[in-house]
Structure 1
Amino acid sequence: MAGTDGGRPSIYPTVLYRDAKAAIRQLTEAFGFAAPAVHEGDDGTVAHAELVQGNGAVMVGSKGTGGVFDSVMKDAGPTGVYVVVEDVDAHHRRAVEHGAEILMPPTDQDYGSRDYMARDAEGNIWSFGTYAPEIRG
């Protein structure tokens, strides 16, 4: 997922939550993301957050802020994000220990990956696995 600008990713999935603070807690505690940047609005909502896993990142924010992205996403359904992890079984154990809803246990795939799937507290689907295709530009 490395980009061409100093190793920065060039694609950032963006997920909005009714309770972004709770989502950030779950994503960091259960799924092992780091949260190097969390910016709150004056009303305490999450205006913008960056959560990092390996060399990839996802942006998170609060629903109902009235911004353009919030407005166009208001009727969007849950999203799905795939995250590459080194040790799927250890990652899965951590998620289970923190009460994550597991939709598929660690499973070996025909294409050589080992994956598991979980749902976050607001219905978004997070897949974690070893499949990391090389991106050629």
Structure 2
Amino acid sequence: MADTAHGRTSGAPTVFPTVLYEDARAAIRTLTQALGFVEEAVYEGEDGRVVHAELSLGNGRVMLGSRGREGAFARAMAGAGPACVYVVLPSADAVDAHHARAAAHGMEILVPPADQEYGSREYLARDAEGNVWSFGTYAPGRA
């Protein structure tokens, strides 16, 4: 059901972070192996570079691709810096287990799991190209 006055819908997410990488293939390996994402789709250009990929975790998805392509989106993103993507995990135990997996795969841990004053348990990691990945129990919009 849609709340058209506020752009809200129920069901599947309607916002999908998009991150560009110099080495999108390496990013896909890191995100799947170290952070538990599932590769849903990968489309390559004639040169073998990743044009578009979709990875999922829970009911969310992130889209990614290779830097340096042609087109309006590539031009708009040319000067974009690292991004931060927040991912909701179901429990404090899940945050701790997820952190252990990321650390075991060599992710740079910026902040280890910690309880926040607003009730969430969270940690921060950085990938090889400087993007920050935040995982926690806080779910925006959840009452």
SS at match of 1:96: helix
Pairwise mapping of residues 78-117 of structure 1 onto structure 2 (< 5 A)?
A: 78-86=82-90, 87-117=94-124
* Structural RMSD (CA): 1.5
Q: CA deviation at 1:37?
A: 0.6
1:96 is matched by which residue type in structure 2? A
Q: Name the residue aligned to 1:74.
A: 78
Q: Name the residue aligned to 2:29.
A: 25
Q: Which stretches in structure 1 are left out of the alignment for 5+ residues?
A: none
Q: Name the residue aligned to 1:43.
A: 47
SS at match of 1:105: strand
Deviation string, structure 1 residues 19-57 (Cα, Å, up to 9, x no partner): 000001000000000011111111111111011011111
d(CA) in 1 for partners of 2:9, 2:55 = 20
d(CA) in 2 for partners of 1:126, 1:91 = 12
Identity among equivalent pairs (%): 63
Q: Name the residue aligned to 2:132.
A: 125
Q: Which consecutive aligned stretches of 4+ in structure 1 deviate over 3 angstroms post-superposition?
A: none
1:111 is matched by which residue type in structure 2? Y
Larger radius of gyration between Structure 1 and Structure 2:
2
Deviation string, structure 1 residues 57-116 (Cα, Å, up to 9, x no partner): 110000011121111111111111100112100000000010000000001000000000
